[in-house]
Chains A and B, each alone.
Chain A
Amino acid sequence: MEPIITKYVREPNSYTLDFYLQHGGYESLRKALGTHTPDQIVEMVKASGLRGRGGAGFPTGMKWQFVDKKSEKPRYIACNADESEPGTFKDHVIMERNPHLLIEGCAIACYAIGAKVAYIYIRGEFYHVQQVLENAIAEARAKGYLGKNVLGTGFDCEVYVHRGAGAYEAGEETALLESLEGKRAQPRNKPPFPAVYGLYGCPTAVNNVETLANVPLIVQHGPEWFAALGPEKNGGPKLYSISGHVKRPGVYEASMDITLKELIFGEQYCQGMRDGHTLKAVIPGGSSVPILLPDQLDTQASFDGVVKAGSMLGSAGAIVLDDTTCMVWLAENLLHFYRHESCGKCTPCREGTDWLFKLLRKIESGQGSMRDIDLLSSVATNVGGKTLCAFGDAAVTPVLTTIKHFRHEYEAHVREGRCTCPADWRARQPVGAH
């Protein structure tokens, strides 16, 4: 499939309004406002089968339909640009090189659910991206694509960027809303869902950047075109972020009938593992999903395909690991992340991540016993499914999946009293993206 969303990202000035207009920009917004009612847009997105690109793969049209239209309160679009899932860097490219596509998507989404304001919640580390977005918004506003009376249709729409300050948990949708309200990024109980009780207690749709970037394409080319771009229920273009031990890490756009194997080994894509090494494992959807082994890579890299293989597509950020990777070390590295990022609101996650990290550090440094391995699984199963938000399940996944597939490595660490994998990753030179 020819890239659609990222078609022009390597062109100079691809982020300017002039460039965007020369390539058919804002025609979808004009079409949506001119010839469609909001309900028709929602129907269109539903018919396209667009699924949320933020992690869960929930149908976007349905999410919009659930937005409480009977409420007297204002409605909001909150665009999730927190992109903090380890191994994920696709929204980054959209916002930096094709910001107007996202802005157009935000405006159409506002029209569809009857909102007048969209907030783009961007992670604090993306300061340079925020500058690009804010300039793009100012440009669009000056030309009447945003602001009062958009394109003379009487529709008002403002898009603002709100900067986070370094919290992974702010990516969880209700935590994001809390953070937007000027509080700690800690999630709320669900239900009520944001569609009913969201930002400032008003009906809100929280959508990922890539999700909203697909909306103008659907309006422009029609839902049938979109659905036909991929396997059933997995339509549309998809961005994959691939990093780790591959020759050409980067963001690749493909239709979801591509296989993981092709993404990792294809000439057009990552071109395989770095020289002299073989593939050991792939984490296909950011750090929070189960590991896939080399013999499972013929699976389709679609939401449903990866689930069939026993993992999840998540944010489609694949971390590819070669034969030098110690799986105990890997779990320790990721649990360091989860322990650091746990928001602390509920006990199993706050305490459990710390326990898991300490146990893993003990085993990795050669001080562990066989009992510690069982204790690890026991702590992990007592966190998973018992927490307020999905972070708890995500945090224990690296532990459970490495024990499941690589228990022998844990045992070897205990038996030999040291890390048994050659630690040459430490001496590794960066591969360098193209």
Chain B
Amino acid sequence: MSFHPKMAYDATFHKSTRTLADNGPVFTFTPENRARLDEIVTRYPADRSRSAVLPALFLVQHQQGYITGHAMRHVAEILKVTPADVEDVVTYYTMFYTKPVGTFVLSVCRTLSCAVNGAERVVEEICNHLHIKPGQTDASGTFTLIEAECLGACDRAPVIMVNDAWQELQRPEDIPALLENLRQHGEAALTGCHHVIEKK
């Protein structure tokens, strides 16, 4: 039936427009990652394997770069939860990607302490160099730019997180060299976190 006498029965709006995550390529954990996940599951009580959903998704992302519908189902099977439970989690947390991202994901902190130290200019500079907007990946598929919220190193503002590593105290004029060094040397080019003084 329709909601209103004048409304056609097949009006589309009351049909759910929700789409499930794209299946994507077939995904199975590599034996090492599977062993790692099996170890992680033992950290939680026997009937609470659901707790391992977040760690499992990090493993997927580590292996494949992003998280597909197929991978969600794979995780759901292993952890004995429903695929919807897994998708629910994937779509909530900002660190999980459901689309392919560049080799280096640049998350530039834009919250107050970084912003008063010029974070906005850093973002501008990256955009100009790569010809992208925040949220996009450059044409070569090397860099994805994300505007992040406070990363917890406000004394070293502005901070950029590159994948899981840190680059601190970035000035706009440092950006060309940073991008070039990343292209050439990968994450080894980063300063890391300043507390790790031994590295220097």
B165: which A residues are within 8 A, CB to CB? Answer: 127-128
Of chain A, the residue at the smallest CB distance from B163 is A127
How many residues on A have C-beta within 8 angstroms of the other chain's C-beta atoms?
69
Nearest CB of A to B148, in Å: 8
Nearest CB of A to B178, in Å: 14
Pick the residue among B54, B93, B152 that contacts A89 (CB under 8 A): B152
Give the CA-CA distance A10 to B81 in the complex, in Å: 45
Q: What sequence of 0s and 1s flags, for each residue 1-38 of chain A, a beta carbon within 8 Å of any chain B beta carbon? A: 00000000110110000000000000000000000000
Of chain B, the residue at the smallest CB distance from A330 is B112
Contact call A333/B112, Cβ cutoff below 8 A: yes
Contact call B55/A163, Cβ cutoff below 8 A: yes
Pick the residue among B45, B55, B118, B194 that contacts A426 (CB under 8 A): B118
Given contacts A128-B164, A179-B54, A181-B51, contact A87 B113 (CB under 8 A): yes
Of chain A, the residue at the smallest CB distance from B58 is A163
Task: State the total of A-B contacts with C-beta under 8 angstroms.
Answer: 180
Given contacts A165-B95, A181-B51, A430-B169, contact A97 B195 (CB under 8 A): yes
Instruction: Kindly state whether residue B158 has any CB partner on chain A within 8 Å.
Output: yes
Nearest CB of A to B145, in Å: 16
A168: which B residues are within 8 A, CB to CB? Answer: 149
Give the CA-CA distance A249 to B117 in the complex, in Å: 12
Of chain A, the residue at the smallest CB distance from B61 is A165
* Stretch of A78-86, A102-110, A216-224 with 4 or more beta carbons under 8 angstroms from chain B: A78-86
Pick the residue among A321, A341, A430 that contacts B170 (CB under 8 A): A430
A325: which B residues are within 8 A, CB to CB? Answer: 116
Give the CA-CA distance A334 to B115 in the complex, in Å: 10
B112: which A residues are within 8 A, CB to CB? Answer: 86-87, 244, 287, 319, 330, 333-334, 337
Given contacts A181-B48, A333-B111, contact A166 B95 (CB under 8 A): yes
Instruction: Kindly state whether residue B94 has any CB partner on chain A within 8 Å.
Output: yes
* Stretch of A118-126, A257-265, A305-313, A380-388 with 4 or more beta carbons under 8 angstroms from chain B: A118-126
A251: which B residues are within 8 A, CB to CB? Answer: 155
Contact call B53/A431, Cβ cutoff below 8 A: no
A88: which B residues are within 8 A, CB to CB? Answer: 150, 152, 154
**Across chains A and B, which 7 residue pairs bring their CB atoms closest together, nearest first?**
A165-B93, A243-B154, A182-B53, A166-B95, A182-B50, A249-B155, A127-B164
Having A86-B149, A249-B157, one finds 4 other A-B pairs with CB under 8 Å, namely: A125-B95, A126-B152, A165-B58, A243-B154
The residues of B with any CB-CB pair to A shorter than 8 Å are: 43, 45, 48, 50-55, 57-58, 79, 81, 85, 88-89, 92-96, 110-113, 115-118, 120-121, 148-158, 161, 164-166, 169-171, 192-198
The residues of A with any CB-CB pair to B shorter than 8 Å are: 9-10, 12-13, 74, 83-89, 92-93, 96-97, 123-129, 158, 160, 162-168, 179-185, 200, 241-245, 249-251, 287, 317, 319, 321, 325, 330, 333-334, 336-337, 340-341, 425-433
